[in-house]
Amino acid sequence: MRSGWLIAALLACAGAASPGNAQDFVAVHETAVADTQQKAVQEAYYAALERALTGVTWYQAEGEVGEQFRREFQQDFEGFKQRFFMPDTDYRCAHQENGRYLCEVTGTLKFGALQMHLRSQIHQVENGEQKHLTFKLSAAQVKDPRKQFVIDALSGAFASFGHRILLDNTANAALARNQVDYALGIYEVTFTNLDDPAAYDPYSLRLSGSLTVRFKLSQIKSGEMVANIPVVESGNEAGPNAETLKPKLVASLGKRAADEIARKVNAAVVSHEAEQ
């Protein structure tokens, strides 16, 4: 299996999943112990990168993605320092009684630069061969009628990855013909703060809120659980009337949540299909 292909799919999915909600700069504070000071310094720097790498590549940070990134780091440590850490990042070390070195790295990680670096590696394969899959979607457990904003946006979000979403009778008919690959069950859609008067700032004329969506993904053929992941999106809308802003914010959060679900699901199924 080509590691580049897997990295591409995971990055497309992970998108916004990152420390600090994909901030361009993230504060770091990591320590490491090694037999030499040089090794301890390198391990402390890598610990900072690895924590961010987990946010970008999800559970594959310890798989092929992480292995490839580790090799690159070892080949060009100084280059990685300059490229991914701000000038305020520095280290200090202490020689311990056992002869080993304890080193601490404190500073700022260029998280946006890390994302761009990983994407540049797989740009040439992102448009390569892609497997198109069919998903049966259900959200019967969710009572909030505003869940429809998420459901309506999912078809377009999945289509951007070449996948198809089926609902209700259409999904059942396809399932009977063995034409469904995965089951996607949404079991929570929670909008926070939208009905709270304090969510509207009368000075900035902004309504703020958030949306949490929880879903389970399983393979139809084996029944195996592939993913069980929460998606949380926050946002705001500006205007002089809080009531008129509510439907706009609900629609905006629903669209963003659907896009994030599609990215996470695409990464999960690509990894799962590759492993099988």
What is the rounded CA–CA span in Å between residue 276 and residue 274? Answer: 5
Residue 64 is predicted with a pLDDT of 58
Residue 237: DSSP 8-state: E
Q: Look at strands 25-34 and 164-167 and give their pairing.
A: unpaired
* Candidate CATH numbers 3.40.630.10, 3.30.70.20, 3.40.50.720, 3.30.160.150; the one for domain 134-275: 3.30.160.150
What is the rounded CA–CA span in Å between residue 39 and residue 221? Answer: 47
Residue 54 is predicted with a pLDDT of 63
114 vs 244: which has the higher pLDDT: 244
What is the rounded CA–CA span in Å between residue 58 and residue 92? Answer: 30
Residue with tokens 């029944």: 223
What is the rounded CA–CA span in Å between residue 195 and residue 169? Answer: 34
Local structure of 15: helix, strand or coil: coil
Residue 119 is predicted with a pLDDT of 62
Domain ranges of the chain: 3-125, 134-275
pLDDT tens-digit series, residues 201-254: 989 999 999 999 999 999 998 889 988 888 999 989 999 988 899 999 999 999
What is the rounded CA–CA span in Å between residue 269 and residue 221? Answer: 13
What is the rounded CA–CA span in Å between residue 182 and residue 175? Answer: 10
* Contact call for residues 229 and 200 (beta carbons, < 8 A): no
Q: What is the DSSP string of 108-169?
A: EEEHHHHHHHHHHHHGGGTTS-----EEEEE-TT---TTHHHHHHHHHHHHHTTT-EEEEHH
Angle ∠(170,263,4) on CA atoms, nearest 5? 120
41 vs 272: which has the higher pLDDT: 41
Q: Is the pLDDT of residue 198 over 60?
A: yes
Q: pLDDT-based confidence at 267, cuts 50/70/90?
A: confident
* Contact call for residues 231 and 261 (beta carbons, < 8 A): yes
Residue 13 is predicted with a pLDDT of 40
114-133 mean pLDDT = 58
Burial of 170 (0-12, 13-18, 19+ CB in 10 A): exposed
pTM, rounded to two decimals: 0.57
Q: Is the pLDDT of residue 68 over 80?
A: no
* Contact call for residues 9 and 271 (beta carbons, < 8 A): yes
* Contact call for residues 221 and 133 (beta carbons, < 8 A): no
